[in-house]
Structures are given as C-alpha cells and as structure tokens.
Amino acid sequence: MKILFVGDASNFHNTLADALRSMGHEAIVASNGSRWMNTPRNINLQRRPGNLGALRYVADVAMAMRKFRGFDIVHLVNPIFLDLRPEKVRIVFDYLKRHNSHIFLSALGTDYHYVQKCYDKHTFRYSDFFVGDELSPFMRSEEKGDVENWLLPFMKRHSDYITPRLDGIVACLYEYYATYKDIAPERLCYAGIPIDTHAIKPCFIENVPQKVRFFIGIQRNRCILKGSERLLAAAQRVHERHPDLCEICAVENVPYSEYLERMRNSHVILDQLYSYTPATNALIAMASGIVAVSGAEPEYYDLIGETDNRPIVNVLPFSDDEITDTLERVVLNRDKLPQLSKMSRDFVVKHNDSRIVAQRHIDFWNKISQTKC
C-alpha cells in the first residue's frame, strides 16, 4: 500500500511509517517534526514565527499538496492537522478526500471530542483537566492556555464536519478509544503506540538495588499538565523518609540523547500522573527494562486483553499522600524490581512493538476497505 501521514506527535507517525516500510509498504510523513522534538519526516511542514513565517508555511503547504495525491491511505494526526485555522484546514481535508482512496484519523491527542469527554466528568474518573469533579492543577494554573478554545462553536463545527467524513479512527491510548467509542463505534479501532523494540537494547535490573534510582524528565511547559511536579515532590518525600534506600535523578529540558542516557541509568521512571495508559516515554523506558510509574488502569488492561503481565506501577492523582505511598511501596519492595524489569520489556514487545502496531493498522484498513466495497 501507499500511505501518507499528515502531521506527527511524539514520533508516532514516523515510527509507524518505518515499520510499514520494513513490511514492504510505501509510507510518507509530512509533518512539523513533532515541534521541538524535530523528528524525521519526508516533507517538512514546520511553521516559523511571525508574518513571514506564516506566509512561508502557507506556501509550503500549497507546494506539498501537489504530492498529496494517489495514496491508498491518508492518516491525519488531529482534526486540526496543520498549523492553520480550521476553515483553511478544511480546504486541505477536502482536497485529500477527493484525491485519495481512504482517510483516517490517528486519535493521538487533544481535540474537541476529547476535551468534551473530559468536561462531562463521567467518561473519566480523572484527566488532564479534572480530578474527580475538581479542576486539575493544570486548569488552576496560568499554563492552562487555550484548552477551552477547543469547545468553542467554530471548533465544534469543524469537528462535526471532519469526523463523519473519516473512513476510520485509530486510537493510540485507552482515553482516545473511550472518547470515540460512542461517536464512531463502527469506524474505530485501538492500535496502541508503536515502539521500535528492535532498536532498544534492554538494560535489565539484574539484582536487587541497594538504592532505587528514580528518574523524572521535566518539560517546563508541560510540567503541570503531566503531573511532573507532584511526582517529583512525592519522590522527594520518600527520599526524606528513606535516604539510604533511594535517590532521584531529575533532568529538565535536556537534549533527547542525554535524556535517554540518563534514563537508562535508572531503575524506575516517573512519567504520567493523569493518564489511564502508559504513553511513549513510559513505553520506551519499559522496552529498556526500566520499571514505569504511570497510568495503568484496569480499563486499559481490559482493552488490550492483558490478564497476566501487568508490570506498570499505577499511580492515582487524587491525593499527594496516595502518590507518596505508591512510590514508597516501590522502594520498600525493591526486591520485585528485577522481575518487573523483565516483565516490562516483555509487555512492550507483546503489545507495542512497531510492527505489531503497524499490522493492527493494516488489518483495520483492510476491514474498512472491504466494508466500503
């Protein structure tokens, strides 16, 4: 097949494209490089600041559109899949719809439907925006930015235009599957996040560590959103209680290669606090043999059909004491870390290897294709 990915997030589409190429397909990625990550792409659609940058970006999109024809599959990163206003994005969407066989959405991140489900306060027990019925720390901070803009009438109109015209939707996390399961149940599948496990050499925890090394990577502009500040504070409280049993490595805004090296020297990664599901960072760490503290709710394990190997340390955001107790149990039960290390690698190989995730996409594309025929 000939596949076009428009947009990327955390290297998702690029990793998937690499796997598809290894399986004999042709895959093209047109993206902004996941913004600051500067991930690989075949067609660069990076928007630079200022009026001149905006004009150049429109010209780049117009030039790229000449190549956006004749694909069997087009996958969009978001209903707003370009750094343009919705009415301009819609023009490109209609062009893609006319000139290609099938068009899909990769449900990867924040969009109108996800925010609306978070705001209904019953689809999820907690989310980036609410913990129970209370606003999350992110929503109480000055960093909340334009979250509520996703719910404005023009964004609803855009989503109401795009969603029914999609041939299918592929969710990478439980949260996005839960978002769309009532909206497009016949056109939805879960595929997971692709991880190139063959490229990751594991560094297993072979022996019970004298000191548990916690690792946390902090992105200053996403710290409150991910819950990093609460996880770090909890780890510090555990360290105060047990200074001889644990230590903390916290890195902030370092180059990605340095981030990975520092991570590989740790035993436990502290990742997402408000997620039901482990995301890219946690999965890469797990593939390396590192134990992840992240989201791992029963709904997620049930969705992927995993009943035996559940190695992720599930952390809940309802109270700081509860977070601290969870991390303290990791330290006091550090004899379990060698087993969890190997289970973590096995988990990612089974559920998130990029070729397995790619095959799930292929199976879904073929199913939708046959349905349309």
**3-state SS string for the chain:** CEEEEECCCCCHHHHHHHHHHHCCCEEEEEECCCHHHCCCCCEECCCCCHHHHHHHHHHHHHHHHCCCCCCCEEEECCCCCCCCCHHHHHHHHHHHHHHCCEEEEEECCCCHHHHHHHHHCCCCCECCCEECCEECCCCCCHHHCCHHHHHCHHHHHHHHHHHHHCCEEEECCHHHHHHHCCCCHHHEEECCCCECHHHCCCCCCCCCCCCEEEEEEECHHHHHHHCHHHHHHHHHHHHHHCCCCEEEEEEECCCHHHHHHHHHCCCEEECCCCCCCCCHHHHHHHHCCCEEEECCCHHHHHHHCCCCCCCCEECCCCCHHHHHHHHHHHHHCHHHHHHHHHHHHHHHHHHCEHHHHHHHHHHHHHHHHHHHC
Q: Cβ–Cβ contacts within 10 Å for residue 149, how many?
A: 11
* Domains 2-194+354-372 and 198-351 belong to one CATH topology: yes
Work out whether strand 130-131 and strand 134-135 pair parallel, antiparallel, or are unpaired: antiparallel
Q: What's residue 373's pLDDT?
A: 57
Half-sphere exposure of 74 (CA within 13 A, CB side): 28
221 against 139, higher pLDDT? 139
Lowest mean pLDDT among 111-120, 146-155, 187-196, 318-327: 146-155
Q: Cβ–Cβ contacts within 10 Å for residue 57, how many?
A: 18
Q: Across all residues in the chain, what is the average pLDDT? A: 94
Q: What's residue 363's pLDDT?
A: 98
Q: What's residue 222's pLDDT?
A: 76
Beta bridge partners, 44, equal: 31
107-123, pLDDT tens digit by residue? Answer: 999 999 999 999 999 99
Domain boundaries, the chain: 2-194+354-372, 198-351
67-111, pLDDT tens digit by residue? Answer: 999 999 999 999 999 999 999 999 999 999 999 999 999 999 999
262-297, pLDDT tens digit by residue? Answer: 899 999 999 999 999 999 999 999 999 999 999 999
177-204, pLDDT tens digit by residue? Answer: 999 999 999 999 999 999 999 999 999 9
Calpha distance 61→240 (Å, rounded): 53
CATH fit for domain 2-194+354-372, picks 3.10.450, 3.90.480, 3.40.50, 1.10.3470: 3.40.50
Tell whether domain 198-351 is in CATH 3.40.50.2000: yes
Residue 223 pLDDT level (bands cut at 50, 70, 90): confident
Q: Cβ–Cβ contacts within 10 Å for residue 231, how many?
A: 28
Tell the residue number behind the tokens 């117009």, with chain if given.
62
Q: What's residue 257's pLDDT?
A: 76
Range 335-353 average pLDDT: 98
Calpha distance 17→124 (Å, rounded): 31
| pLDDT value at 239 more than 70 | yes
32-62, pLDDT tens digit by residue? Answer: 987 767 888 999 999 998 989 999 999 999 9
